[in-house]
């Protein structure tokens, strides 16, 4: 449905969640131009930062060499279990009986590919990380070239993970079609940014917080525009996402400083300084908090812009304050569930840790005071504040653009027409009465088909 405004561009409702006017409206709306200018400036800054901070690979190579020197790095090779023997350990005594497991494998990679190898016996009494293995099981073994030593590393799960990834891709594309395919491309781009830029750049000695902020901005640009299309709707949502990220960054940085985190609460953090001497662990933690918040932010902002656009479409005469209030009311339920989602995501990833604290016989405030838990609390609460703030920020931006028809009509009369000759009404002959203006067509009621994926994606 389209209504010509008399100035060479129309207002259209883009499949239930688009901003009116399309890109042509950017030329005539001051708020839209301001949002666009801010987004363009952020895009330019992101590109420049990506170029400046792009990893050289020197730091990563040095870290690999350091990890190899202290015995952290080793090759991973695929193998198949050929024989499993459980018996008493060689070091077992009547006073201290111990059970051991010996594995014979066929290794499929490395210098002895195709050969049988025997692993050193594994003490099942003290090492509970080895699962029950049977002949024919696919496993991964570690190999240290300097000593020609093989050891059990893990089961080979690559086949099941590949199958799950393919199933995920089929489901997303089947339901989302072109939009789903673009979402998969956005997900792949996110992985490339995290693995190919964030980690190597931080290992190069760049500030992990700055690297994470630049990565978050790049991911936001790519994922939002790829998934939701290059449109004013997405641009306003992107502006709201970036503003909420800035707020989250300011809050997280303040409370990380106030809580005086060291960044050394995990085993990985203790090992990292030996691998890369120049890495700032506190900045690394803070950067992780920013990237972790981004995933929920874009969902909130896109939903809010779509909600405000739909409200304006259904109620063209609704005033801007009323539109903002209505949009925020709708966003409250979304925020409530999203905040709880963040808490459950962090808690679910730390279930073993929660069990250990449950048996530590410490009070809840004392458990929360430990850095390992306190970091997650600060991440969750600061990220949640950013999510809550994203609702009024994005709603206000969208409402400022989607003004009532009365305000748009006044603004339109102030814009000089560039095609006055073409748009001038034809004179009505005196002998014929002027035709009555056509009645405003009724807006169609929602149909089930409106919620189904479109053929064009």
CATH number of the domain enclosing 126: 2.40.50
pLDDT of residue 364 exceeding 90: no
pLDDT at 162: 94
Domain final position from 156, 181, 197 = 156
Among the listed ranges 17-31, 165-179, 277-291, which one has the minimum average pLDDT value?
Answer: 17-31
Q: At what angle do helices 351-358 and 320-348 cross, to 10 degrees?
A: 70
The tally of domains found in the chain comes to 2
Looking at the chain, the whole-number percentage of residues with pLDDT higher than 70 is 80
Q: Which residue has the higher pLDDT, 15 or 132?
A: 132
pLDDT at 45: 95
pLDDT at 24: 62
Pair (33, 82) in one structural domain: no
Is 242 buried (19+), middle (13-18) or exposed (0-12) by CB count in 10 A?
buried
Q: How far apart are the C-alpha atoms of 58 and 377, rounded to whole Å?
A: 35
Domain final position from 122, 156, 190 = 156
Residue 177 lies in a domain: yes
Pair (204, 353) in one structural domain: yes
Of 386, 294, 391, nearest to 334 by C-alpha is: 391
Residue 235 lies in a domain: yes
Count of C-beta atoms within a 10 Å radius of residue 55: 19
Q: Which residue has the higher pLDDT, 132 or 104?
A: 104
Task: Summarize the confidence of residues 251-272 as an average pLDDT.
Answer: 80
Is 402 buried (19+), middle (13-18) or exposed (0-12) by CB count in 10 A?
buried
Residue 430 lies in a domain: no
> In which band, very low, low, confident or very high, does the pLDDT at 406 lie, cut at 50, 70 and 90?
low
Residue range(s) defining the domain that contains residue 375:
12-55+159-407
pLDDT at 27: 59
Domain final position from 103, 135, 156 = 156
Q: How far apart are the C-alpha atoms of 140 and 77, rounded to whole Å?
A: 6
Pair (230, 271) in one structural domain: yes
> In which band, very low, low, confident or very high, does the pLDDT at 349 lie, cut at 50, 70 and 90?
low
Residue 261 lies in a domain: yes
pLDDT at 387: 85
Pair (268, 397) in one structural domain: yes
Of 279, 294, 295, 293, nearest to 209 by C-alpha is: 279
Pair (120, 19) in one structural domain: no
Residue 273 lies in a domain: yes
Pair (311, 174) in one structural domain: yes
Q: What share of the chain is helix, strand, coil (3-state, %, to 5)?
A: 60, 10, 30
Q: Which residue has the higher pLDDT, 245 or 265?
A: 245
Residue 6 lies in a domain: no
Q: Which residue has the higher pLDDT, 426 or 31?
A: 31
Pair (16, 36) in one structural domain: yes
Instruction: Write out the H or E segment, with its range, that includes residue 213.
Output: helix 208-228
Pair (23, 129) in one structural domain: no
Pair (146, 257) in one structural domain: no
Instruction: Write out the H or E segment, with its range, that includes residue 376.
Output: helix 371-401
On average, the pLDDT of the chain sits at 78
pLDDT at 408: 52
> In which band, very low, low, confident or very high, does the pLDDT at 88 lie, cut at 50, 70 and 90?
confident
Count of C-beta atoms within a 10 Å radius of residue 212: 26
pLDDT at 284: 86
What residues contact 3, with CB distance under 8 A and at least 6 apart? 10, 11, 12
> In which band, very low, low, confident or very high, does the pLDDT at 422 lie, cut at 50, 70 and 90?
very low
Question: Do residues 387 and 339 lie in contact, with contact meaning Cβ atoms separated by under 8 Å?
Answer: yes
pLDDT of residue 106 exceeding 90: yes
Pair (86, 194) in one structural domain: no
Residue 240 lies in a domain: yes
> In which band, very low, low, confident or very high, does the pLDDT at 436 lie, cut at 50, 70 and 90?
very low
Pair (217, 336) in one structural domain: yes
pLDDT at 46: 95
Pair (43, 82) in one structural domain: no
Q: What digits encode the pLDDT tens for the residues 14-42?
A: 344 445 545 665 556 777 788 888 999 99
State the pairing for strand pair 138-144/75-88. antiparallel
Residue 365 lies in a domain: yes
Q: How far apart are the C-alpha atoms of 130 and 260, rounded to whole Å?
A: 38
Q: Which residue has the higher pLDDT, 157 or 403?
A: 157
pLDDT at 277: 77
């Amino acid at each position: 449905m389209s209504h010509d405004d008399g100035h060479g561009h129309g207002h259209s409702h883009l499949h239930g969640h688009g901003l009116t006017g399309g890109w042509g409206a950017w030329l005539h709306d001051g708020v839209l131009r301001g949002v666009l200018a801010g987004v363009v400036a952020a895009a330019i800054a992101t590109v420049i930062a990506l170029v400046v901070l792009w990893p050289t690979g020197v730091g990563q190579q040095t870290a690999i060499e350091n990890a190899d020197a202290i015995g952290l790095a080793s090759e991973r090779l695929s193998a198949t279990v050929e024989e499993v023997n459980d018996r008493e350990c060689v070091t077992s005594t009547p006073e201290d009986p111990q059970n051991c497991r010996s594995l014979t494998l066929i290794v499929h990679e490395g210098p002895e590919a195709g050969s049988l190898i025997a692993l050193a016996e594994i003490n099942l009494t003290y090492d509970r990380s080895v699962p029950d293995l049977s002949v024919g099981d696919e496993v991964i073994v570690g190999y240290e070239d300097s000593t020609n030593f093989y050891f059990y590393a893990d089961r080979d799960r690559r086949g099941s993970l590949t199958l799950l990834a393919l199933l995920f891709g089929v489901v997303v594309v089947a339901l989302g079609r072109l939009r789903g395919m673009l979402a998969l491309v956005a997900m792949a781009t996110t992985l490339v940014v995290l693995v190919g830029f964030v980690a190597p750049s931080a290992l190069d000695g760049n500030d992990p917080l700055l690297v994470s902020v630049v990565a978050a901005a790049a991911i936001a640009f790519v994922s939002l525009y790829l998934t939701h299309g290059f449109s004013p709707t997405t641009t306003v949502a992107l502006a709201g996402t970036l503003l909420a990220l800035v707020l989250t960054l300011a809050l997280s940085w303040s409370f990380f400083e106030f809580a005086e985190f060291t960044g050394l609460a995990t085993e990985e953090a203790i090992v990292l300084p030996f691998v890369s001497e120049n890495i700032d662990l506190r900045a690394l933690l803070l950067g992780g908090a920013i990237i972790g918040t981004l995933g929920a932010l874009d969902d909130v902002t896109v939903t809010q812009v779509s909600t405000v656009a739909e409200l304006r479409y259904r109620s063209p005469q609704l005033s801007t304050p009323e539109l903002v209030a209505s949009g925020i009311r709708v966003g409250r339920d979304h925020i409530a569930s999203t905040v709880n989602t963040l808490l459950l995501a962090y808690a679910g990833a730390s279930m073993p840790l929660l069990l250990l604290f449950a048996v530590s016989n410490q009070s809840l405030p004392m458990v929360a005071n430990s850095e390992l838990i306190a970091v997650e609390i600060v991440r969750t609460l600061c990220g949640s504040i950013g999510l809550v703030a994203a609702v009024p920020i994005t709603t206000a931006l969208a409402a400022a653009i989607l003004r009532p028809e009365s305000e748009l009509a006044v603004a339109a009369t102030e814009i000089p027409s560039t095609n006055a000759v073409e748009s001038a009404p034809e004179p009505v002959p005196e002998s014929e009465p002027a035709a009555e203006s056509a009645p405003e067509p009724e807006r169609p009621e929602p149909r089930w088909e409106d919620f189904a994926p479109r053929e064009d994606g």
